[in-house]
Amino acid sequence: MGNGTQLGRVRGLGAGGGAVVHHWWLQRVTAVASLFLVLWFVVSLARLPSLDYASMVMWMRQPLVAVPLCLLVVATFWHFRLGVQVMLEDYLHGSKRVIALLALNFYTFALAALALFSVLKVALSAG
């Protein structure tokens, strides 16, 4: 197949070895998941009698609410990370890219962990 030739790259998966296609699919999957979860979130909030603190806490304590909320957090932050990663890889080069990607990973995982912790704290708190 000619591993180092242009023809070999065209016949195979290209220079990225399939990573680009995988990344592209992950972006689409997380976008669709986020779309459905955000729609669920908006409809669920619209169906609540009021949006005061006590109602929200009681709503979030339900397992059928806490699990989709956690999934929404994961899907949204994962999609965010994938999109910003593409932008950073396109426009930054050298050590700036590495530092920016490390900062992106730290920022994304820290905020996702904080959001998940917040949802779980409310969902698992004693009534």
CB within 8 A of 26, min separation 6: which ones? 78, 82
pLDDT band at 16 (very low <50, low <70, confident <90, very high): low
Cα–Cα distance measured from residue 52 to residue 55, given in angstroms and rounded to the nearest whole number: 6
Residue 17 confidence (pLDDT):
61
pTM for this prediction = 0.83
Cα–Cα distance measured from residue 5 to residue 38, given in angstroms and rounded to the nearest whole number: 46
Nearest to 127 by CA among 42, 47, 57: 57
Question: pLDDT at residue 2 above 70?
Answer: no
Domain architecture of the chain: domains with CATH = 17-123 (1.20.1300.10)
Q: Name the phi and psi angles at 86, rounded to 5.
A: -60, -45
